[in-house]
């Protein structure tokens, strides 16, 4: 039984014995003791005052005395206003540490003991490389999936690859006009970068055409619609949907270049997927359902042939589902994709979409449309909305070529890691090959941790140099602490299994309580889809270990029992750091 459950049971008994009242266990509030007070667990006394008919301080004193006498685990107590702070015995904490050391997967629930959840992330377009925003998306989605696994859920990690549509056709048109048969091999570029180059070329040429048309007397709106390049792009999309052989072959070739580029980027990011969905497969399912919904009176077909959903009764607007030429829009394919996923995985309990907050309205509409189409599971769809990542000089625009590519950022982070670690002399004495591996590990840890430590809902500014500060709230700071712990264990020469009773200091108690709270932190992070809770927990844990390391001697403690206890505490801290960082998709080296 967790100690909180035992405390609640005993408090309920105490209220009955001391004050003659029945207090349900679910009405008893227990929380961590604030750092400025002595103790580990705090009972909120205010709800009990009405039974005691005493002041909060008197009520707390009476209940504290009762608990100290009835529970061997309680060593002392203090009352501060309406809060009863309990200090547990050293024996309790030593037994707790022994239990944790004996659990290979401490903090993790039984695998697949909870229902299936699907997490979608990445979901790129095949007309450009992955960029800084995709890094936050991928790291967030992957980490949420791993946290849900840790909490016992069966999890499927998926993406929808937006491999069709007008944006893809723009790159195709530009390559045909300006590419002269250029391939990634000829250009010496990754395939996704090459295709992205032609997306930018399209935008540049398109703007020039619009300017010419406006100069010759056409309105801006008409010029944007009637520019020859845009007409050709729309025509290319229609040909693609009609399976024109030449158009389809070019589409397959250019997408193939992009997929190869994506694969290497994902591998370096350290993210993976259980199943890939393609818009080119799912849009037709959505289109078929949209036409059925017209027949059933759910959607409306207008005179120009376009299909719309009227959501004004739901407090929203009217939403286009099919264009007048019959081609699909994003909403069409998202309807088809959602339905296909539930067909593929009938036991799916929840579908989580990791998509930026600029798409909040889109997903609100999507979930309502799925309900109107008769899918009860639409209520279990969830939009994991996250804020944008900005650079010091502002937002990024891929069509204008101002996006910072994910590959370039990862390269820059590894190079920054190299420069800073060499300046600090952190890796002196290591072989060159080992150093190179550590530069990669440190650079990517800095990047991932910096992007994940912020609440997903918040916008953030990415600062590469701040992210590799070995003394700050960073991935490398935590990595270095883990390496230090492994050095202590190596010097001790063996793992710790059996612990004898010793008297614990306040820094040891603080560190133990942090380890004790780890399972609850995972549960909360899973419930809130927030890797930031794990990131901030492991940072606080690392700081508590630093305080422990500085204030007590570990390997030169006064007695063998105290040495064993402190090494065991360090060992468990290292394991929880490693597990926490793994949930964030970050590796921790044993030597630095």
Mean pLDDT to the nearest integer, 190-212: 96
**pLDDT higher at 430 or 55:** 55
| DSSP codes, 208-274 | HHHHHHHHTT--HHHHHHH-HHHHHHHHHHHHHHTT-HHHHHHHHHHHHHHHHHHHHHHHHHT---S
DSSP state of 113: -
First to last CA, the chain: 39
**CA–CA dist 460, 143 (Å, integer):** 18
Residue 400 confidence (pLDDT) above 70: no
Determine how β-strand 348-356 pairs with β-strand 381-386.
parallel
- Average pLDDT for residues 588-592, to the nearest whole number? 91
Q: How confident is the model at residue 63 (pLDDT cuts 50, 70, 90)?
A: very high
Phi, psi of 427 (to 5 degrees): -110, 20
| pLDDT for the residue numbered 396 | 39
Q: Are 500 and 564 in contact (CB under 8 A)?
A: yes
Per-domain boundaries in the chain: 3-88, 121-400, 449-583
Q: Which residue has the tokens 């710790």?
A: 496
The pLDDT assigned to 398 comes to 40
> Any idea which of 54-58, 61-65, 100-104, 465-469 has the lowest mean pLDDT?
465-469
pLDDT in tens, 107-119: 999 999 999 999 9
Question: Which pLDDT belongs to residue 403?
Answer: 63
Residue indicated by tokens 């048309």:
213
Query: By the 8 A CB rule, do 389 and 133 touch?
Result: yes
Arithmetic mean of pLDDT, 323-327: 87
Tens-digit pLDDT profile for residues 357-366: 999 999 999 9
pLDDT number for residue 431 = 87
Of 251, 246, 227, 97, residue with least CA distance to 172: 251
Q: Any idea which fold 3-88 has?
A: Gyrase A; domain 2 (3.30.1360)
- pLDDT bucket at 395, cuts 50 / 70 / 90: very low
pTM of the prediction?
Answer: 0.92
What pLDDT score does 164 carry? 87
Average pLDDT over residues 28-33: 95
Encoding tokens for residue 215?
A: 């100069």
Q: What is the pLDDT of residues 209-259, one digit of tens each?
A: 999 999 999 999 999 999 999 999 999 999 998 999 999 999 999 999 999
Select from 3.40.50.970, 1.20.1250.20, 3.30.300.30, 3.40.50.620 the CATH code of 121-400: 3.40.50.620
Least confident of 275-284, 417-426, 431-440, 552-561: 417-426
Mean pLDDT of 292-308: 95
Q: Which of 189-203, 296-310, 400-414 has the lowest mean pLDDT?
A: 400-414
Q: What is the mean pLDDT of residues 82-96?
A: 96
Convert the pLDDT of each residue in 523-536 to its tens digit.
Answer: 999 999 999 999 99
Nearest CA among 308, 333, 312 for reference residue 321: 308
What does the pLDDT read at residue 18? Answer: 95
pLDDT band at 393 (very low <50, low <70, confident <90, very high): low
Nearest to 107 by CA among 590, 451, 525: 525
> Sorting pLDDT into bands at 50, 70 and 90, what band is 447?
very high
pLDDT mean over 77-82: 94
Nearest CA among 243, 239, 219, 242 for reference residue 231: 239
CB 466 within 8 Å of CB 413: no
Select 449-583's CATH number: 1.10.10.10, 1.20.150.20, 1.10.3720.10, 1.10.730.10: 1.10.730.10
Helices (H) and strands (E) counted in the chain, each on its own, are 22, 14
Contacting residues for 393 by C-beta, under 8 A, at least 6 apart: none
Residue 113: CB atoms within 10 A of its CB come to 10
513 band by pLDDT with thresholds 50, 70 and 90? very high
- Mean pLDDT (the chain, rounded): 93
pLDDT at 433 over 60: yes
User: Each residue of 362-392: pLDDT tens digit?
Assistant: 999 999 999 999 999 999 999 999 998 887 7
pLDDT beyond 90 at 494: no
């Amino acid at each position: 039984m967790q100690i909180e459950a035992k405390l609640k049971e005993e408090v309920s008994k105490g209220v009955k014995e001391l004050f003659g009242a029945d207090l349900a266990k679910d009405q008893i509030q227990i929380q961590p003791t604030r750092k400025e007070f002595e103790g580990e667990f705090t009972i909120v006394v205010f709800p009990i005052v009405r039974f005691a008919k005493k002041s909060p301080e008197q009520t707390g004193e009476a209940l504290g005395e009762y608990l100290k006498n009835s529970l061997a685990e309680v060593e002392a107590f203090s009352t501060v206003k309406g809060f009863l702070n309990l200090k547990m015995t050293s024996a309790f904490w030593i037994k707790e540490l022994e239990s944790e050391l004996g659990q290979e997967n401490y903090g993790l629930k039984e695998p697949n003991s909870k229902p299936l959840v699907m997490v979608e992330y990445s979901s790129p377009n095949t007309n450009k490389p992955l960029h800084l925003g995709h890094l936050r998306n991928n790291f967030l989605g992957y980490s949420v999936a791993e946290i849900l696994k840790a909490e016992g859920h069966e999890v499927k990690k998926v993406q929808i690859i937006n491999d069709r549509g007008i944006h893809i056709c723009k790159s195709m048109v530009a390559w045909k006009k300006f590419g002269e048969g250029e391939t990634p091999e000829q250009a010496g570029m990754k395939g996704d970068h090459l295709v992205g180059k032609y997306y930018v070329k399209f935008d540049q040429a398109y703007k020039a055409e619009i300017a010419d048309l406006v100069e010759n007397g056409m309105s801006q709106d008409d010029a944007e619609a009637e520019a020859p390049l845009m007409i050709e792009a729309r025509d290319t999309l229609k040909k693609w949907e009609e399976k024109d052989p030449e158009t389809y072959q070019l589409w397959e070739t250019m997408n193939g270049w992009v997929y190869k580029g994506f694969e290497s980027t994902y591998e370096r990011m350290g993210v993976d997927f259980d199943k890939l969905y393609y818009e080119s497969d799912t849009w037709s399912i959505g289109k078929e359902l949209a036409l059925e919904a017209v027949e059933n009176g759910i959607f409306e077909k207008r005179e120009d042939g376009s299909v719309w959903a009227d959501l004004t009764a739901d407090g929203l607007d009217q939403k286009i589902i099919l264009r007048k030429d019959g081609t699909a829009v994003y909403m069409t394919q998202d309807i088809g994709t959602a339905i296909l996923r539930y067909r593929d995985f009938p036991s799916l309990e929840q579908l989580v979409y990791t998509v930026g907050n600029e798409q909040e309205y889109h997903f609100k509409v999507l979930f309502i449309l799925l309900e109107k189409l008769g899918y009860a599971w639409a209520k279990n769809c969830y939009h994991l909305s996250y804020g944008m990542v900005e650079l010091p000089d502002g937002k990024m625009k891929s069509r204008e070529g101002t996006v910072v590519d994910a590959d370039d950022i990862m390269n820059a982070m590894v190079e920054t890691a190299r420069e800073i670690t060499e300046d600090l002399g952190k890796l002196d004495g290591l072989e060159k090959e080992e150093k190179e591996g550590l530069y990669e590990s440190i650079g990517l840890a800095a990047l991932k941790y910096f992007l994940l430590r912020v609440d997903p809902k918040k916008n953030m500014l990415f600062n590469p140099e701040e992210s590799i500060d070995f003394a700050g709230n960073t991935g490398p700071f935590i990595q270095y602490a883990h390496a230090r712990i492994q050095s202590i264990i190596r010097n001790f020469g063996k793992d710790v299994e059996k612990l004898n009773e010793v008297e614990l200091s306040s820094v040891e108690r603080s560190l133990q309580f942090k380890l004790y709270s780890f399972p609850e932190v995972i549960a909360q992070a899973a419930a809130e889809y927030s890797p930031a809770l794990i990131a901030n927990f492991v940072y606080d844990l690392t700081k508590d270990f630093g305080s422990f390391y500085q204030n007590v001697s570990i390997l030169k403690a006064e007695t063998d029992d105290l040495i064993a206890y402190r090494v065991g505490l360090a060992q468990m801290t290292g394991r929880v750091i490693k597990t926490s960082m793994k949930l964030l998709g970050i590796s921790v080296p044993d030597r630095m």
